Structure 1
């Protein structure tokens, strides 16, 4: 009986840990390229897409260096499409804290070059948006397509 209780407790803890990871709302992908190549490919894809506008190119490592601190390479590209984002903000303006879209490119000491972005379906839940399903699906597909182009060889 004690063993069954221990197994149930351990199982519960493992399930709880797993759901916390899943509920983070982040989609994380590994790039086979170094950070500069990954960053350059991503920026090119965004700037050459007529439906997207690059709004911000943030280099956290450079900013850290400006105050004499070291940070592994960490960059953020912020971009958007007002035709998709505006209807979401009209439905619930709080989603504006998560828009425009951002993709983080960073060097993980243990995993190499990584790409992360917010899962649009998580944002839908976070901001209690029950409508605009097609917009969320379109954004999800676009982010998946963009990041997959970055991490696949040409």
Structure 2
């Protein structure tokens, strides 16, 4: 029984490795020079979208956990040895919306390069928005929305307060 479990475990690892290598080949074929990646690892539901003339650079030994996505219109660069928790989203652009005479979907985008330094840990459910630089050796706690630059060797968390109220008549 133990041997059977080990065999199944190794078959599943091999299947996952082949699947990931296939996706890497597809990204290189689809995006060409726009996809510049060294050896990196990712789990299930990892998505890359490179639009227009966007450039995606991923350093060596980078790890993306389940559900991460990178959407690039201009440039996103990620340094070596970074780790990303589940469901991290990175966007280097945002919709324009100020013209009341046009539909938002027709107003285009504003873009700004995203740079993530080496050896960063980005916690689960973090959203990184356009024009942000995260300095090397930084930690971003879970659930934070990053909309401005973070210095090197920093820890960023979101200090949300939990407020509990009672439903009328349930005190």
TM over 0.5: no
Identify the structure with the greater helix proportion.
1
Q: Which has the larger radius of gyration?
A: 2
Identify the structure with the greater strand proportion.
2
Which protein, 1 or 2, shows the higher relative CO under an 8 Å CA cutoff with sep ≥ 6? 1
TM-score range, shorter chain: under 0.3
